[in-house]
Structure 1
């Protein structure tokens, strides 16, 4: 059993979350060094059924070799509720859930099932609910409010499969789903949700466009499947140095003004603008 730590998990506000198969433990350290805010060690889609138990055993051997700071940047995608491997995944991760290692629950559709996951993992667990179906989208509000769910994520490829969709490159067909997940996150007072992957790993322009779209919709993070995608996602979903400097100037002047509306650089600064500056400043400190 790992020693207790007070390290805070990074998953709540991660911009980039990089998948790495649980069957490739030699890649864990490289993924952590890639610049990604978090890594997602995958026990689900990246692992063949015959390799599930072996992948879990490899993960059990590797987790103790990570530092507390690395645990705080580690998420594990478990196998879905109802699969033969789900309970064993939870049994392993109960030891680590209180140490900052978060859990990504695929095919999230039932708040009661997420509650059972939370109970199995223990009170310190942080759960990211991956919505991949119409049933999941229909239950987005209760899922977002489920105990210990700290963030929503959008599995847009499986979502299209579930609905028989074939979205075009810019994916306007999925706007309704993205809007719903952002709104559900806001109503539940969760951080902005995580958007799905860009499958064309060699297309930097496509990645940049997808990341810009995610930010425009109100997403705060994006799933990555290759280390080359991390920098582009971080840039699109983060704040520039100029934006950060502006935010700090706004907050400094707002404190001096004592709540009064004022003008900065020719722009009126009232409470909504101050709140936006606070969000930028908070991201600098994370």
Structure 2
């Protein structure tokens, strides 16, 4: 299974014009690195950043962390050159910003080849309206919440963006895709803000979150983790089911049938993965502190 099918999927942005950071980002514990040719790179630096991609990628461990490149949008003068530059690079795939047109995703696929993956970043009103079409041709959807809020003239607050977020979740589910990837939390010094944003995204059905700093990885994991009460309930359900050898059972005055069992299995598997991620993250942080 590809790394971007994991729950949660936590990719980390790094500027394309800072190749010395590629290796650090890949070793950060993020599920993937997104090398950003778009917002993180000034117009005057885009050509040099594009030309330096191959050298920067050469220093990464083969077969290690998944590597994506966020291209400039199809409506810019940089898109064709970006596609040409990444055509022969050893990438996992691309992130397509301001995705609105399924045809552009198909063009990108032709460049990437059969194994290349496309994450469609929806951040415009038209992109949200076409989310279900885009989900049919992309490998995953992501939400560019900051740009979207600006585009509709809204404050970047949860209730203003709920309809768009729910549309991405529904479009992904209808297309058989994993849960979409939520947008960034702009502060990385406020861990609780990252925890709260990740937990809110998980509640809505998102399967990951875009990160802008390694310090956001651990709090994002905490936010996506099932609560202690959820894990205890799931274990109780699965234990009761085992004792009765399957089928519908009654537990604490409530009927436990197939959907509830599926929920319990999902909570248990996610709790185990996230517990392992937290342990690995703590061990990595301790090692970095000693070095």
Q: TM-score, normalised by structure 1?
A: 0.84
Note if contact 2:22-2:60 (Cα within 8 Å) is conserved in structure 1. Answer: no
CA, structure 1 residues 262+126, in 2 after alignment: closer, same or farther (shift >3 Å)?
A: same
1-structure distance, mates of 2:113, 2:166: 31
Q: Which moved more, 1:208-217 or 1:236-245?
A: 236-245
CA, structure 1 residues 262+112, in 2 after alignment: closer, same or farther (shift >3 Å)?
A: same
Note if contact 2:96-2:119 (Cα within 8 Å) is conserved in structure 1. Answer: yes
Structure-2 residue corresponding to 1:67? 61
Structure-2 residue corresponding to 1:5? none
Please state whether the residue corresponding to 1:68 is helix, strand or coil.
coil
Structure 1 residue 266: deviation in Å? 7.7
CA, structure 1 residues 261+227, in 2 after alignment: closer, same or farther (shift >3 Å)?
A: same
Structure 1 residue 247: deviation in Å? 5.5
Gapped regions of structure 1 (runs ≥ 5): 1-7
Q: 2:150 aligned to 148, 161, 164, which one?
A: 161
Gapped regions of structure 2 (runs ≥ 5): 275-291
- Deviation sequence 1:96-141 (CA, Å, 0-9, x none): 46x6x12110000111111111122111111110000000000000
Structure-2 residue corresponding to 1:36? 30
CA, structure 1 residues 206+281, in 2 after alignment: closer, same or farther (shift >3 Å)?
A: closer
Structure-2 residue corresponding to 1:3? none
Structure-1 residue corresponding to 2:259? 272
Q: 1:93 aligned to 86, 90, 93, which one?
A: 86
Q: 2:188 aligned to 201, 223, 233, which one?
A: 201
- Aligned: 1:130 with 2:121: yes
1-structure distance, mates of 2:222, 2:63: 23
Q: Which moved more, 1:222-231 or 1:128-137?
A: 222-231
Please state whether the residue corresponding to 2:58 is helix, strand or coil.
helix
Note if contact 2:20-2:56 (Cα within 8 Å) is conserved in structure 1. Answer: no
- Deviation sequence 1:218-250 (CA, Å, 0-9, x none): 111111112111110011113468866876786
